Structure 1
Amino acid sequence: MATVIHSAAASHVGKVRTNNQDSGYSGHNLFVVADGMGGHAGGDVASSIAVKRIIEADTEYSSAADAEFALQAALIGANAQLAETVFEHAELTGMGTTVSALVVLDNEVAIAHIGDSRIYLLRDDELSQITIDHTFVQRLVDSGRITEQEAMVHPRRSVLMRVLGDVDSSPEIDTSILATLPGDRWLICSDGLTGVVSHSAMANALSSGLTAQDVADRLVKESLDGGAPDNVTVVIVDVGDAAERDDTPTVVGSAAAPLAFGEEPVRNRPLRIPALRLHPVRETHFEPDSQDYLSELIEEDARRARRRKITWLVAVILLVLAIASATFLGYRWTQTRYFVGVEGSTVAIYQGVQQDIGPIQLSSVYEDTNLELSSLRVYDRQQVEKTISAASLAEAQLIIERLHNASQ
């Protein structure tokens, strides 16, 4: 029978943010990562409230189905608590949080997920992504409009389509039940890790043989080494067949600190829903998961792609024109130069330069002087065979005159 033998959690504010809007929990059977959004005013509050509410589900269950239902109920409860908090503190309007959580129960895990935090499974040294991001770019990837590589740098990669927060009273939460085996290592993380550390680097760290805590610390450090523009939170869960475990529950990030925010609650304030934002911003933000809005975003993305193609086409045309102009001007310059060389058995004046560019000849016979090469002195013949450069036609003619006089 599989059971949790080791677990660990680590969180860091990163190198750009001023506060940690992530929260993480490594418990007895429950493990959670939440990534808050809503800016400085509410992201940390949202993830903290959500994790503290979901922690209540860290208990024993008779079946994985019961655990799955309890997780879903916990996330719905956290969503309602977030809405109530915004109702009492209007300055927090628009705050929300992603949540990725799992419960380990015998040989199965129950999973609940919303947003773009992720759950991974390392089995037999192969790392697999279990959850699917609820983001705009993931919709584009799923529909074949862009590739996974393009999604990594897409200007709308931070747009979330589903989160817990104060907008949707019944958010759609992905839940599932999967088998787990002794030797499995589970990773739950915020996008502060996946946005910086590559899939292969995460796999190397997870399969390194280090302890759960050492792996969590290593992944956080790799994110920091990569610049860590966002908060980063990691929870590691090792599954084995041991009967006992020594780990104690650990809370990290915003949820590890006392909840403190804003002014005193003011009742009966209207619930304000944030207006749609149709332009890319640096902060992760939420947009309604509606077909009309998705169609508008997709059309805007298509317009941007068309503009990008036109820009590239214009740039290529300008580059070709620049190269053609440079080639033409360069050729014109070569035709102002002259040299003396051999044409068959006689000496000739050439217009151009001695070098050629592949099949393109940069010189041609300007005048055959009828001066026999055999009539020249040995030294002069050798010089003509090597070619003698002239700055002008008049200078080339003087060279011919000198050679003719010397041959008599």
Structure 2
Amino acid sequence: MVNSIAAVAVSHVGRVRSNNQDSGYAGSSLFLVADGMGGHAGGDVASAIATTRIKEIDHDYPTAEDAQIALQSALLAANGLLAETVFEHPELTGMGTTVSALMRVDDKMAIAHIGDSRIYLLRDGALQQVTTDHTFVQRLVDTGRITEEEALTHPRRSVLMRVLGDVDSSPEIDTWTVDLMPGDRWLICSDGLSGVVRPDAIASILENVQSPAAAADRLVRATLDGGAPDNVTVVIVDVDRDTQGVSEPVTVGSAAAPVVFSQEPATHTRALRLPALRLHTPKPATGPTHFEPQTDDYFDELIEEDQRRARRRKLTWLLSAILLVVAIVLAAILGYEWTQSRYYVGESNGKVAIFQGVQQTLGPISLSSVHEKTDIPVESLSAYEQQQVEDTINAASLDDAKRIVNQLADDSAG
């Protein structure tokens, strides 16, 4: 039987962004992370509105199934509030937010999830990702088109297929319940953590740092050490671990401050809706950009575009390889031709000879050959000249080589 729950919430703006668009909440029974999007003007508002609305359901429920229904209803209500806010403040058009939430009821945990924030569970020393990202690359992974490793660097890794916002009046929200066990440690985080710190590093911190507050701080520090290109928000929930967490509900990130809207008058001008997708006002260029589709047709379009990009990439690599090979062959030909313009005098079968090329070899390949043999025995030369011939005598040209040979012949005859 689960008795105690300890929780902590931490949020950091990161090293790149100018404002925090994440929100987090650790309450008595409810725990959540929301990652807003829509640029400087809207992401923080979206996550704050959603978090503030969902916090209202933080109280006891008869069963986990009741809590699950309450979570789903709260997320849908938050979605409606976001749409109303955009109507009243058109400058926020395109804002949205992810939400990943836990609701504890006795020895069960109700879960609600939409977007690419994540919920992890550390149980018996093993870390498992409980939620599935609602992203384009996750669908590619699920359908076997790319690997998990490829997904980490995929150019469309931040394309979201589902979020709360003014895109869909009835977004699909994943909800289910999980049995709790003493010793469980739950982690909810924005992709500012999961996109920077590898799962094995997250698992090591969660396993080895006893205090949830210290573990949360270590996770944020690991993100900062990794560059922290995005906001990072962490909520840790301990189940019967003899740890101390917050005694009062705590809200962090953008939801911790009052929501402030632009003073410009509302015009109630609705944004132009494309049939397949709408490009949201991006976050600053230093971080990932989210796109939000309205229909599954967009998924097919992205797959086709991804396949075209893969074909172009392969063609580019092939052409680059061909050009590299051609360049190497041309360099080899030109280099060999240069060596064959050189001459030197040396010894061949005991006689003085003129060689064409250079004295070096390229592996088993000699870069010179006998151009002209003479009848001058090397042993007929003086000891000094014998040593010169054996060491080879460089010539400036073929004529110069013949001059050297004639000089050696005169010395031999004399």
Do these two structures clear the TM 0.5 threshold for a shared fold by scoring above it?
Answer: yes
Match of 2:297 in 1: 292
- Amino acid aligned to 1:22: D
CA deviations over 1:253-272 (Å, ceiling 9, x no partner): 011001221248859x3654
Does residue 259 in structure 1 map to residue 264 in structure 2? no
Q: CA deviation at 1:390?
A: 2.1
CA deviations over 1:285-324 (Å, ceiling 9, x no partner): 3422523221112112222222222222221122111111
Match of 1:342 in 2: 347
Which region of structure 1 is more displaced relative to structure 2, 369-378 or 26-35? 369-378
SS at match of 1:284: coil
CA deviations over 1:222-251 (Å, ceiling 9, x no partner): 222222221111111122265996632211
- Amino acid aligned to 1:400: V
Consecutive unaligned residues of structure 2, counting only runs of 5 or more, are: none
SS at match of 1:380: helix
> 1:143 & 1:45 partners in 2: Cα distance?
34
Match of 1:216 in 2: 216
Match of 2:108 in 1: 108
> 2:279 & 2:351 partners in 1: Cα distance?
77
- On the 8 A contact 1:156/1:280 being kept in 2, the answer is no
> 1:210 & 1:384 partners in 2: Cα distance?
81
Match of 2:18 in 1: 18
Match of 2:147 in 1: 147
Name the count of aligned residue pairs.
407
SS at match of 2:99: strand
Q: CA deviation at 1:147?
A: 2.1
Match of 1:44 in 2: 44
> 2:45 & 2:281 partners in 1: Cα distance?
24
- Amino acid aligned to 2:366: Q
CA deviations over 1:137-182 (Å, ceiling 9, x no partner): 2112222222222222222222111001112111101112223322
> For 1:7-406, what aligned pairs fall within 5 Å after superposition?
7-240=7-240, 247-263=247-263, 269=268, 271-272=270-271, 274-275=273-274, 276-277=277-278, 282=285, 284-406=289-411
**Judging changes above 3 Å, is the alpha-carbon distance between structure 1 residues 303 and 4 closer, same or farther for their aligned structure 2 residues?**
farther
**Judging changes above 3 Å, is the alpha-carbon distance between structure 1 residues 213 and 245 closer, same or farther for their aligned structure 2 residues?**
closer
**Judging changes above 3 Å, is the alpha-carbon distance between structure 1 residues 159 and 265 closer, same or farther for their aligned structure 2 residues?**
same
CA deviations over 1:307-345 (Å, ceiling 9, x no partner): 222222221122111111111111111111112222222
**Judging changes above 3 Å, is the alpha-carbon distance between structure 1 residues 265 and 132 closer, same or farther for their aligned structure 2 residues?**
farther
**Judging changes above 3 Å, is the alpha-carbon distance between structure 1 residues 119 and 225 closer, same or farther for their aligned structure 2 residues?**
same
Runs of 4+ in structure 1 displaced over 6 angstroms? 278-281
- On the 8 A contact 2:168/2:294 being kept in 1, the answer is no
- On the 8 A contact 2:6/2:243 being kept in 1, the answer is no
- On the 8 A contact 1:160/1:284 being kept in 2, the answer is no
> 1:243 & 1:208 partners in 2: Cα distance?
13
> 1:364 & 1:245 partners in 2: Cα distance?
84
What is the percent sequence identity of the aligned residues? 63
SS at match of 1:32: strand
- On the 8 A contact 2:205/2:218 being kept in 1, the answer is yes
- On the 8 A contact 1:76/1:170 being kept in 2, the answer is yes
| TM-score, with structure 1 as normaliser | 0.92
SS at match of 1:188: strand
- On the 8 A contact 1:38/1:95 being kept in 2, the answer is yes
| TM-score, with structure 2 as normaliser | 0.91
CA RMSD of aligned residues (A): 2.4
CA deviations over 1:71-117 (Å, ceiling 9, x no partner): 11211121122122222222222211000111233433221110010
> 1:198 & 1:243 partners in 2: Cα distance?
25
Q: CA deviation at 1:125?
A: 3.0
SS at match of 1:347: strand
